[in-house]
Each structure stands twice: as C-alpha cells, then as structure tokens.
Structure 1
Amino acid sequence: MEAVGQLTGGIAHDFNNMLAVIIGGLNLAQRRLDRGDTDIKRFMDGAMEGATRAAALTQRLLAFSRQQPLAPETVDGNKLVNGLTELLSRTLGERVQLETVLTPGLWKTLADPIQLENVIVNLAVNARDAMPDGGKLTIETGNANIDAEYAHDAEIPIGHYVMLAVSDTGSGMPAAVIAKAFDPFFTTKGVGKGTGLGLSQVFGFVRQSGGHVRIYSEVGHGTTIKIYLPRTFAEQPQAIPRRSAAMARGGNSSEIILVVEDEERVRNFSTEALRELGYTVIHADGGHAALAIIDGGQDVTLLFTDIVMPEMTGRQLADEAVKRLPRLRVVYTTGYTRNAVVHNGVIDPGTNFLPKPFGMDQLASKIREALDD
C-alpha cells in the first residue's frame, strides 16, 4: 500500500503541476484575446510544453506498468551502443570519461531499439549525476548463460541472454536506496531534478521485453546496473522505409474521412485538424450514426474511429463499414495501448493504430500512411 500511495501521490503531484502550466497559459491567452491582443505565442508555447510533458509522463507510467507500445526488432547490442557514443559523449560532458567494452560475437536480442536506446541514455545520465566531480562511465556488452538459481531468483526462464551493463565510479547507493530504486517516483535527487520515474521505466521496459535488471552498488565506489535480455535467433527482416511525420503531406478534398469519436472535444479536434490538412471530413458520435451516414450514400475514403465506444466498438463499426465499402481504409485510435487492445482481441496485430494523445504531425503521418499503403 505504501508503494501504491507513493505512485498515486506522485502522479497527482506531477500532473497538477503540468495542468497548472496548461490552464494558466490558456487563461492568460484567453484574457489577452478578449481585449484584442493577439500576442499570445509564449502562453500557447507554455501550454503546449506542459501538455507534451504530461503525455511523456503517461508513457513513463505505461513503461513502469509494462503496457507501453513496443516495436521489437532483432537488435545488435554492439551496433546500438556504438551508435550512441557521440550522443552520450555530448550529454555526459568533459568531466566524465566514457568507455565501451563490447564483446565480439555478441548474440542478438529481440527488443524495441528506440526504447532500449532510451534506457541506456537514462542510465548514463543517472550515472553522470552520481559523479558531480567527474569520473568514468563504462558501457559493456556480453553473452550470459542464466542458470536455474539465478533464473528462479529473477523470475525469468533459464537460457541465453544478452547482457548490457552501465557502470560508474560515483557515490554508490546504500542497500536501503537499492531496495527502492525501481519504485515509481522514488528519487534521491533534489526538487526539480528528477521525476523518480527513470529507473522504474527501465525496469518496466526490461520486464516487458522478457528480461531482468539488477543493481550492484557500493557506497563510495560506484554502481553497475546490468540488463539481461533474451537471446533471439531471428534474422532482422528488411526494413520498410516509413514516411516520417516531418515528411507527411496533407490530403485533398477528394479524400473523404469519416471521424467517429464519442468524446466531443476529441472529435472536434480531429475533424478540424484533418480539414486543416486538406481532407474533406464528416463526423459521427458513434457507430450507428456512422453507418447511417454510409447507408445514406455518402462515399468515404478512410474511417478514423475510436475503439472503445458505447453500443458499438470501433472494430465492430469497421467490420460493418468495410462490408459496405470494401475499399475503405481504417485507422483506429484509443487512449489504451496497442498491446492492451491487441491482447484482448479488439484489433489485429499490424492494424493502423494511432495512440492518444496525438498532435497534428502524428495524425498527418498516420492518415497519409494508411491512404498511401
């Protein structure tokens, strides 16, 4: 119960701070607009920054709960670490010496490379903060055979694992801190210097990827954090270039999008955003209303629908709509994670899916991708 209280208290604290920035910025912008002053950019920028931070916090919470959307690929840990060295050198600063010890013939693992990079950077930044007077940071890779005793203790299967370790020569952690290090919102840093979600995010990602993470530390001598990810024998398929958000072009009036969303504010945003991108947009507040529009003879190029709605789910709506319009493209959206809706059989793996919250760039990219596929 203490951990639950710490988690909910930390969420409330951080979200309230972010909401204060958002609401305050919008209130100031509204007051200026009411008196005819259009110089509100800095207030809107502040509100957007607060909203972006809130979205990032949600992703960290999903990582801790092992429900974040992952895109696992066959990963060469040595190549991944080599690709990060320049970024890490700039991030760590001149007072921290970076060393990599990469094992030749390293096994491959199946993991989300973007999230794994985030984990390494996260651990490296924590290590830097533990060495305020400078020191040495070592990133090491290796092949590991996990025996029955370790596997039982770590609650992972016996077998072959790829090991990634980040070590520092910093202040180290006492046993009491190590015991709580993976707890959400637990931090030894000062106010404003850390959310306390970094290591819990690492823990959640590693466990969601089928692995294990362990801390070895001694006060006054430094810390090593070792990550073990399962070995894979799968070959990496040829990557298919995907259109980036920055490259995503808009649409034209001949492309008709039907937006179906029971939450009015989200529906209004999606409708206006898609119109801004050049599409012809019609909308409905639920599945039955959407089907009535189609049955009335309205042509539709793409259906953009929420998944979780009363009376008829987005999947049920899409199935019925495609029967009527066989060439219809479909993009789903929801506040739940892809893993959750796929696991529960709501949508199929590989389906076009845009998680909430999303902005104009993400919306433009996903809609264009679905139409051009």
Structure 2
Amino acid sequence: MTGLYAAFPPDLAPGNVSAAQTALSDIELLHSISVSLIGEQDREALYGKIVDAAVFITGSQFGTMQLLCTPEHGAGHGGELQLLYAHGLPAEAVGFWHYVSPAAYSSCTLALKLGQRAIIPDFEQWADIAGTEDLLAFRRTGIRSAQTTPLMSRDGHLLGMISTHWNKPHHPSERDLRLLDILARQAADLLERTIAEEALREVEEQQRQTAARLRELNETLEQRVAERTAELMQAEEKLRQSQKMEAVGQLTGGLAHDFNNLLTSISGALELMNRRIGQGRLSEVDRYMVAAQSAAKRAASLTHRLLAFSRRQTLEPHATNVNTLMYGMAELIQRTAGPGIVVETLGSPELWPAFVDKSQLENALLNLCLNARDAMPDGGRITLETTNQWMSREAARGIDLPEGDYLCVSVRDTGTGMSPDVMAHVFEPFFTTKPIGQGTGLGLSMIYGFAQQSGGQVQIQSTVGEGTQVSIYLPRHHVEASQDEHDAADESVAASQLGETVLLVDDEPTVRMLLADVLGELGYTVIEAADSVAGLKLLRSDVHIDLLVTDVGLPGGMNGRQLAEAGLQLRPQMKTLFITGYAESAVFGGGQLEDGMHVLTKPFAVDALGGRVRELLAK
C-alpha cells in the first residue's frame, strides 16, 4: 500500500471495501482521495495512490495503471502501454505486462482500440482470447474479469489507462463507474502534469548542459544570464502576488462598502429609536424600526449572494417542474420589466424535472430578467425558454459538465449586449457595469455559484447591439415533480395548539434568547441548552420533547447533525429543525436530509420560524 488509506478511519482496511463504502459517503471518499493525491509529490507514490483508490472504489482484487508510449519517449515502444503501477499482481505478472502491445487481449488494449472504457465481465467467456498466451497469463494471475477507464488530457488526447481486475466474473456498478470517471479525470490531470514536469526537467537539463558549455566560453555572460533570469522570476512572482491581492482587495472592498452602509442604517436607526423612546416620542419609532428591518433584510440578501457565489449557501432541493415555476413568474416579471418590454415564455412540452431549490431558481431567473430589463432602456423583448438537452462528452466538456441529460432554462434579451472584455468578468464578485449605488455586482456570480452547487453550469452568449442570452443547465432528475409543491415560506405564523415542548440548542446567547422568546410567544414550552453536551443530557432525560431546534456548528464535541442523530436513537419520533448560516457538510452528508428533518437559513423571519415548527410538528 502507498499510504492512501491513512486518510480514512483505521477500521476501513483495504480488504473491507463494503464497510468502507457504507461508512463513507461518495463525497467524503472522493474528497479524501483528492487530498491524498494532490498532496503527493513523489511520482511513483502518486501512481500507486491512484491505483489503490480505483481498487478501493470498486472492491477489486487487482489494479493497474498504464501510460501510452509515444515516439517522443524514446523507449522503442511507441503505441504500446507501459505499466506504471500494479496493485495485487505477483512479480511474474508484473514482468509479463510491463509493456503491453495493442495486439494483446485485455481490457486495456480493447479500450485503446475503442477509444473509450472497456468492460470484460468474464475472460473465460470472451471468444477473442480463447487459446491465447494472454488467457493463460490471466489464469495464472487469478484474473477473471476487468474494466479499463481511459485517462484523457484536457485537449482530448489519450494519456493512459486505469484498470481494475477481479478474481471472479464481475460487472462494475454504475456508481463505481461514475466514481472511476471522476478519479480518472483527476488522475489524467495529475498524469498530464507529471508528463509536463518530466518534459520540463528534460528541457532544464538541456539548458543546464548548454549553460555549462557557455560557462566554459564566457563566465561573465553566464553570470549576466543568471541574474536576468532571477530578475524575471522575481517580476513574475510579484505580478502573481499583485493579481491575488487585487482580487482579494476587490472582494473585501466591495464587502466593506456595502456592509458599512447597511450597518450605518441599522445602528443609526436603533440609536434614534432609543432616543425617541427616552423622549417619549413613540409615534416616531415605527419609521426607524422599518429602516433597520429593511437594512437587515438587504444585509441578509447580500450574505446569501456571497454564499451562493462561494457555493456554501443552504439549499433545499426538491423535484421541480421548471415550466410551472417559469409560467408562475411570468406576471411578476412582466410587472417588473414595465410596459415597454414584452415578456415571452416558451416551455418545452415534455420538459424533464430538475432537482433544485425552487426559491433560489426563482431568484436567479428574476435577477437575469432584471439585468435584461436594464440592458433595454428603450424597450425590447425578454424570452424565457426551457429545453431538454442531451450532452455528448465533447459538448459537455465545452462548458465543464459531465456527459448526460440536462434541463436548460435560458433568459434572452434584445438589449445592448456585452463586449468580450466585459463577458470575461461578468461572473466575478462585485463586478458591475452599472453606476455606483445601482448594483452590487453579485447577481451573476450568485447565479454561477447556485448553478454549480446544484450540479449544473451557467453559459453566457452576447453580441454588442444584438442582445444577451444566459443559460442555466441543471441535471435531469428522474423523479417527477409534485403538482402541488409545498412552499413553507408562504405560511403565516403558526402558534402551538397542543403546548408542545421544544428543545433549543444554540451556543450564541443572543440568538438563543431571541429564538426562545419567539417560540414562547407562539405558545411552545422551550428548554434551552448552550452546547451539544447539555443538549444530549436533556435528550437522555425523562423530559418530554416534541421538537429539537439546533444550530449546526456547536461546541461540546458534537455538531448539530450528530446531536440530532443521537437524539433519534433515544427518541425515534422526535422531529428536528436545523438552523444554519451556510451549507454545513455535517448537515447534508450524502446530499439529503432524513424524513422529519428540515433546515432554516439564518437570518429568518418570525413567520418562517413559526411555519417550519408547525409544519414539522403537524406531520
């Protein structure tokens, strides 16, 4: 072993693959593999970790990684596959397959001929290999079945192969193949990097030899060249650092500007409210309260946009009929656009459902329509359109997506359009072409982050003087959307009808006090805990608890998700409401919450809290 499994818990030994797959979610597994691969500097160890990861994912007994030899390698094996690393193969087998000819019989050479993945469920049932030396070699090694995944460069060239082999007939699952594709993508990038580094080392070696010859001819000239090279390297490093600081400065400067304005509105309004109350001028308090609430809502909106850009916002995806959503927004968009703009909706009649956060998609479409309106000061047309699209590997690679089925919802306008220079920056945070004070510059960056967090992508096309089209691609969902989709945000405040008891766990005293007051006013009995230790103690007690309301990030050794899971072991009928400021991986784990669990994003309105609590307790 090369040390890959050191990144996993001790009980997840390589031989216990089913336990590993049960204990680790695919996301956690891929993350652990990625961290291990990226941090590896030794080339041989890197190849070993890639193969070990493929074996770990598939539960196979053997694994290999091959490099496609080219004439440039100078080894006299152009067109053959060179074995870089083998897992589980005996020494004689490693020698037999050190160089594999395209004329051989294996999943590797079949994949080489096909130019794509090759799967051989049973070598004994494959007619092409009958009676060959290759079959005898497989038998001696104990290999009965295999699959090979090609390693493709970013520009579409074949670099090599990852193969996994089993000692019995086997056909890998769709899940294994999907994870292998992701591993292959990263492995190809790393292999391409090592090949480039090797070529660079060869160039550097040639340069060193040339420099030595030049040094013999002219020591002074060599010294000047060295000094100039050092100056160029320093200048390049300064430029990279300057670009980094410029990006950070743009982000922090925009944040500071917007939040300073908002905090001034909030603190000023609260200060004047305090003065007016002290002066007994209570009739003037309302307008300051409205101003503070408005600024707080704008701050929450800004925070959500930043979280969307960073792909850390809390999403509650559901099977969604995007046509229904789009048609339902048409009237709102038309009122917002104004009478000088025609709004047209074109929905595909057989549109696939999408697994997406409905409110965030509505927000994204509204933002795009507002941008389209601003680009048409003299009027024009906004067209919202949905289509089903199957993307081949080549087409999907063009917009950084995996091959497959996608739902596309696009917003097209007949406005002023954008130049290529502007289009190159439109997804950057705080970038805007609008005058100061008329836009945060977070709209498109938020849409970009939301689409990627939903497993999709955003594509923009624009021509100066003709208009702009922004397309959001979302993966097809294979569960039909409900016709009466429930929207908890539309619920009014729901008070307790049965005097239910709520356990409230939050380490922030101010937040805990406000939540307790709100729930108390709604008629619930509230029990408070400041950390997971106190919360777990109450869950283990005899106190009656109907609902657990908990923050995600908690002190005390357990996060909110772990506390809820421990509570369910003790109280199987208890419901849970998570409150969080961003998408904690501890909450979502494999991607979805269990039945009886909901998420409420901070900050939230009293109505939203009451509605969610009542909704959970009513189930």
Q: TM-score, normalised by structure 1?
A: 0.88
Partner residue, 1:48: 293
For the residue of structure 1 that corresponds to 2:455, the secondary structure is: coil
CA apart distance, 1:91? 1.4
Residue 458 of structure 2 aligns with an amino acid whose one-letter code is V
**2:613 is the alignment partner of 1:367:** yes
CA apart distance, 1:250? 1.0
Partner residue, 2:274: 30
CA apart distance, 1:335? 2.4
Tell me if structure 1 keeps the 8 A contact 2:425–2:431: yes
Deviates more, 1:228-237 or 1:4-13: 228-237
CA apart distance, 1:231? 2.8
Partner residue, 2:103: none
Tell me if structure 1 keeps the 8 A contact 2:320–2:482: no
For the residue of structure 2 that corresponds to 1:232, the secondary structure is: coil
Against the structure 1 CA distance between its residues 370 and 159, is the aligned structure 2 distance closer, same or farther, given a 3 Å change threshold? closer
**2:508 is the alignment partner of 1:263:** yes
Deviates more, 1:297-306 or 1:315-324: 315-324
**2:579 is the alignment partner of 1:333:** yes
CA apart distance, 1:325? 5.3
For the residue of structure 2 that corresponds to 1:194, the secondary structure is: coil
Deviates more, 1:287-296 or 1:110-119: 287-296
For the residue of structure 1 that corresponds to 2:342, the secondary structure is: strand
Q: Which ranges of structure 1 fall in alignment gaps of 5 or more residues?
A: none
Partner residue, 1:185: 430
Residue 45 of structure 1 aligns with an amino acid whose one-letter code is V
The partner residue of 2:599 within 348, 353, 359 is 353
CA distance in 2, matches of 1:216, 1:283: 53
For the residue of structure 2 that corresponds to 1:300, the secondary structure is: coil
CA deviations on 1:154-212 (whole Å, 9 max, x unpaired) are 11012332232222221111111000001111100112211111111111122222222
Against the structure 1 CA distance between its residues 335 and 165, is the aligned structure 2 distance closer, same or farther, given a 3 Å change threshold? closer
> Where do residues 302-321 of structure 1 align in structure 2 (5 Å cutoff)?
302-313=547-558, 314-319=560-565, 321=567
Deviates more, 1:114-123 or 1:15-24: 114-123
CA distance in 2, matches of 1:46, 1:231: 43
For the residue of structure 1 that corresponds to 2:424, the secondary structure is: helix
Tell me if structure 1 keeps the 8 A contact 2:313–2:582: no
CA deviations on 1:82-128 (whole Å, 9 max, x unpaired) are 33222222111111122334444344433333322222221111111
For the residue of structure 2 that corresponds to 1:352, the secondary structure is: strand
**2:382 is the alignment partner of 1:137:** yes
CA distance in 2, matches of 1:358, 1:62: 15
CA deviations on 1:2-24 (whole Å, 9 max, x unpaired) are 33332222122211111111111
Residue 446 of structure 2 aligns with an amino acid whose one-letter code is Q
Deviates more, 1:79-88 or 1:190-199: 79-88
Tell me if structure 2 keeps the 8 A contact 1:253–1:280: no
The partner residue of 1:203 within 448, 460, 463 is 448
CA deviations on 1:326-369 (whole Å, 9 max, x unpaired) are 6544333232325x333457994442332222231122112222
Partner residue, 2:530: 285
Tell me if structure 1 keeps the 8 A contact 2:492–2:607: no
Q: Which structure's CA Rg is the greater one?
A: 2
Residue 425 of structure 2 aligns with an amino acid whose one-letter code is K
Partner residue, 2:316: 71
CA distance in 1, matches of 2:339, 2:506: 51
How many residue pairs get aligned? The number is 372
CA distance in 2, matches of 1:25, 1:131: 37
Tell me if structure 2 keeps the 8 A contact 1:259–1:305: yes
For the residue of structure 2 that corresponds to 1:236, the secondary structure is: coil
Residue 46 of structure 1 aligns with an amino acid whose one-letter code is A
Residue 357 of structure 1 aligns with an amino acid whose one-letter code is P
Identity of aligned residues (%): 45
Q: TM-score, normalised by structure 2?
A: 0.55
CA deviations on 1:287-317 (whole Å, 9 max, x unpaired) are 3334555677544333322232222433444
Tell me if structure 2 keeps the 8 A contact 1:3–1:183: no
Tell me if structure 2 keeps the 8 A contact 1:245–1:364: no
CA distance in 1, matches of 2:574, 2:613: 13
Tell me if structure 2 keeps the 8 A contact 1:115–1:205: yes
Partner residue, 2:402: 157
Residue 341 of structure 1 aligns with an amino acid whose one-letter code is A
Residue 56 of structure 1 aligns with an amino acid whose one-letter code is S
CA distance in 1, matches of 2:491, 2:349: 37
CA distance in 2, matches of 1:44, 1:36: 16
Partner residue, 1:93: 338
Partner residue, 1:230: 475
Tell me if structure 1 keeps the 8 A contact 2:462–2:469: yes
The structure in which a higher percent of residues are helix is 2
Residue 365 of structure 1 aligns with an amino acid whose one-letter code is G
Against the structure 1 CA distance between its residues 333 and 345, is the aligned structure 2 distance closer, same or farther, given a 3 Å change threshold? farther
Higher relative contact order (CA 8 A, sep 6+): 1
The partner residue of 1:176 within 417, 421, 425 is 421
Residue 113 of structure 1 aligns with an amino acid whose one-letter code is K
For the residue of structure 2 that corresponds to 1:214, the secondary structure is: strand
For the residue of structure 2 that corresponds to 1:171, the secondary structure is: coil
CA apart distance, 1:241? 4.7
CA distance in 1, matches of 2:451, 2:275: 47
Against the structure 1 CA distance between its residues 77 and 371, is the aligned structure 2 distance closer, same or farther, given a 3 Å change threshold? closer
